[in-house]
Structure 1
Amino acid sequence: MQQIVDAILSDDASREDFAALAVPDHYRGCLVREDEVSMFEGMASRDKDPSKSLHVQDVPTPQLGPGEALVAVAASAINFNTVWTALFEPVSTFQFLKRYGRTSEWAARHDQPYHVVGSDLAGVVLRTGPGVTRWQPGDKVVAHCLSVELESPDGHDDTMLDSEQRIWGYETNFGGLGQLAVVKANQLMPKPRHLTWEEAACSGLVNSTAYRQLVSRNGAGMKQGDVVLIWGAGGGLGSYATQLALNGGAIPVCVVSNAEKARIVQDMGASLVINRAEENYEFWQGDRQNPAEWKRFGARIRDLTGGEDPDIVLEHPGRTTFGASVFVTRRGGTIVTCASTSGYQHEYDNRYLWMNLKRIIGTHFANYREAWEANRLICKGLVHPTLSTTVGLNEAGAATAAVHRNEHTGKVGVLCLAPDAGLGVEDHETRARLLPAITRFAEQAS
């Protein structure tokens, strides 16, 4: 493994050099174990500790299949699906691996008593499987997390609709939180040359998700002048959504949880900010929703926008906020949801939906084209990584626990093979031009 690290750190290692490297028969990965699925049984979600269920240990290097690439992972990142995996909820991910494993001989590799997690990476291609022509050993890449088979017609208009669509590292094994990772070649994209490994690794999942959710015709189709309410604007998904809204000529209304996150989104250029901690909205009273608080929240939005309601609400908290989101959306507006981090059972007053011709759109990650376009914006320096903290692979469990407790700002990066933060920059001129926007979240965190 050290020879691989040396090649990654080298300024002059060629494609031939990478192709000549021996592939280790094992590697270290961050994983959950099937024999521990019941360890949190009977506990409330908030009391479960991902640092107890996530382990870093040696696992066998899987055989590479057709259309796949083996990537030496310099850095990865924590996502909410890492949290869900570690909590074994809403279901154990071993159910996904078993179901996938039954589909083919190659898919059977994924059905293991361990699950190497992680849906982001930045690294270098080590090997490619049969049929791969676009990517070669030595290519510096990032990966998006859509794994598709495309053997049925369903996904050929939008690959997210493929009947065998899965999220890599969540519904498949051999994810990005490890020294090596197996991906399909059509998950790979070029690494932004002006970013460090950990900065490049932190954008794949959330930036692509936000792009489809807001910009794509498969999501809200945001246009110039739209008022966009963004929940969790200082977090991983919301921080990219805020940038996309600003770049697209929309007017973001950023909802954040503390003063630090309010300062960050204001520094990004968002002037309309609601700090939940200061304004103390209580959308629920026990097990019943509180419409009076929806009205107070809506009035606050109108105060900020000069009387306008949101054209688009970017939803991902789910249960705690969904009733308010439906209420405050303008007549004919759109609530676009991609997650339910506070609970999957949503409740809202349907009168405000049907009588005001509002729409609820479900989106889930992004297709390859959408992910590529989102990554292109980063390569061009139009969208910046929102990395706040970087930890080593051995600290991935504790970092996931911090994300579970919402103690993070932006994204949390994880060094895998990269020995230190700050490595991997090739285009120093572009980086100097774009600073301090690239490191905005990290500087606020420090």
Structure 2
Amino acid sequence: MSMQTILDAITSGDRTAETYAAIPVPESYRGTTVHKDEIGMFEGLPSRDKDPRKSLHLDEIPVPDLAPGEALVAVMASAINYNTVWTSIFEPVPTFGFLERYGRLSPYAKRHDLPYHVVGSDLAGVVLRTGPGVHLWKPGQEVVAHCLSVELENADGHNDTMMDPEQRIWGFETNFGGLAELAIVKANQLMPKPAHLSWEEAASPGLVNSTAYRQLISKNGAAMKLGDRVLIWGASGGLGSYATQMALAGGATPICVVSSPDKAAICRAMGAELIIDRRAEGYQFWNEDNTKQNPKEWQRLGKKIRELTGGYDVDIVFEHPGRETFGASVYVARKGGTIVTCASTSGYLHEYDNRYLWMNLKRIISSHFANYREAWEANELINRGLIHPTLSKTYALDEVGQAALDVHHNLHQGKVGVLTLAPEAGMGVTDPEKRARFESEINRFRGE
């Protein structure tokens, strides 16, 4: 009954701290989980044949106690990221090892070491409770959350929190993630929800928007500048759609690599003009048994880029596919250029010809999520309407397995959202006048 009371309070528009403090916290909530005793269920299958619909469960989860510095959030909406796909297919390793190591830190961390893992690294919702020591956030506040979880007891984390030895991704390397009716986050993960967005729209940028910001814009990543030419792999996808918007907003020229005419059309709708359909071009960077690369295909990609740019190579390559594309990425960057990588969705063992790196003074920069300041700045771009959500489709909480499968098989564009407590899409907009200025941009990816 108290879960319905929470939802009624949120939908009423009442945001007073007293209202939410008076609502009893439920004993349990529904959350999307993987189970420790099922980690071997896909053994022997190729990655593509591993089905998240079989491994992701919707369970009733006991509400854990709040630790100091934490917040309990009523989650109205969440989103699918590739880390949920990895979790669901138990690759590259099952996430329970992360939870076991985390659990050894302290009695509070021990709460995370369970035989089930509540997944999800995005949320938009309302604060229900805060733990001891939290003073900037109150019950009743509308929030989104970034997914950086840090302890900050070690000196290494105090210049850049991503360097903290105890840095983890919430909902992937910690428990009690956002694909659920309730979630537990550290208070320093919270950010204000943009008032012109619905719950599912506000939930969708978190992980990918912040990741793209650090990778492309921040001094900790490629530090893109006005006039740069940026090759963006998967430019209509979760990460790439934000990188494309940032390149355009920052005065750079994106060269968008996509895999279909529909995805090319989305890039054009964002304002990009230089587009490469890699399937239409038929690039084969590797031989059939995936053991040897073909440098002539790198050269062919480089030629295509120069045709589009009027003879110029790219200053920055926005890399995340990994093994399939990395050799080509190193090759096509200009002399002195930068290849910035944040993921490896096609494989972690990258191979490239080092002659093109060292003799041409190129740089490979690693980038992983974002620190709190970078995440806050990325959220402000959304709030100001400089960058927009790329939500294409929204699923119900009991359809998370199908949503994850769609992302696993690259059947989506932009981001895929999930309604958790919200009973329907489109709820949560509190500044309709502001929204009206950006309505077409917000809906660019709808139905794709």
Matched with 1:83 is 85
Matched with 2:198 is 196
Write the mapping of 1:197-346 to structure 2, written as runs, cut at 5 A: 197-285=199-287, 286=289, 287-346=291-350
The match for 1:109 among 100, 108, 111 is: 111
Write the mapping of 1:176-187 to structure 2, written as runs, cut at 5 A: 176-187=178-189
Write the mapping of 1:56-67 to structure 2, written as runs, cut at 5 A: 56-67=58-69
What SS class does the counterpart of residue 326 from structure 1 fall into? helix
Structure 1's consecutive aligned runs of 4 or more residues displaced over 4 angstroms after TM superposition are: none
Q: Write the deviation string for residues 75-128 of structure 1: whole angstroms up to 9, x where unpaired.
A: 000000000000101100000000000011100000000000000000000000
Counterpart residue type for residue 200 of structure 1: A
The whole-number CA distance in structure 2 between the counterparts of 1:381 and 1:243 is 11
Q: Write the deviation string for residues 216-236 of structure 1: whole angstroms up to 9, x where unpaired.
A: 000000000000000000100
The answer on 1:369 being equivalent to 2:377 is no
The CA deviation at 1:280 is 1.1
The whole-number CA distance in structure 2 between the counterparts of 1:278 and 1:433 is 36
What SS class does the counterpart of residue 86 from structure 2 fall into? helix
Q: Could you say if the C-alpha distance between residues 340 and 275 of structure 1 is closer, same or farther in structure 2, counting changes exceeding 3 Å?
A: same
The CA deviation at 1:12 is 3.1
Give the percent of matched residue pairs that are identical in Structure 1 and Structure 2. 70
| Structure 2 portions without partners, runs of 5+ | none
The whole-number CA distance in structure 2 between the counterparts of 1:75 and 1:277 is 34
The CA deviation at 1:162 is 0.1
Q: Is the 8 A contact 2:15 2:141 kept in 1?
A: no
What SS class does the counterpart of residue 334 from structure 2 fall into? coil
The whole-number CA distance in structure 1 between the counterparts of 2:282 and 2:20 is 55
The CA deviation at 1:11 is 2.1
Counterpart residue type for residue 131 of structure 1: G
Counterpart residue type for residue 267 of structure 2: V
The whole-number CA distance in structure 2 between the counterparts of 1:11 and 1:43 is 48
Counterpart residue type for residue 352 of structure 2: Y
Q: Write the deviation string for residues 251-296 of structure 1: whole angstroms up to 9, x where unpaired.
A: 0000011111100110110000001121111000131101010000
The whole-number CA distance in structure 2 between the counterparts of 1:62 and 1:130 is 15
The CA deviation at 1:13 is 4.3
The answer on 1:436 being equivalent to 2:422 is no
The CA deviation at 1:160 is 0.1
What SS class does the counterpart of residue 74 from structure 2 fall into? strand
Matched with 1:18 is 20
What SS class does the counterpart of residue 330 from structure 1 fall into? strand
Counterpart residue type for residue 186 of structure 2: K
What SS class does the counterpart of residue 71 from structure 2 fall into? strand
Length-normalised TM-score, structure 1: 0.99
Counterpart residue type for residue 371 of structure 2: N
The whole-number CA distance in structure 2 between the counterparts of 1:180 and 1:436 is 31
The whole-number CA distance in structure 1 between the counterparts of 2:95 and 2:181 is 21
The CA deviation at 1:246 is 0.4
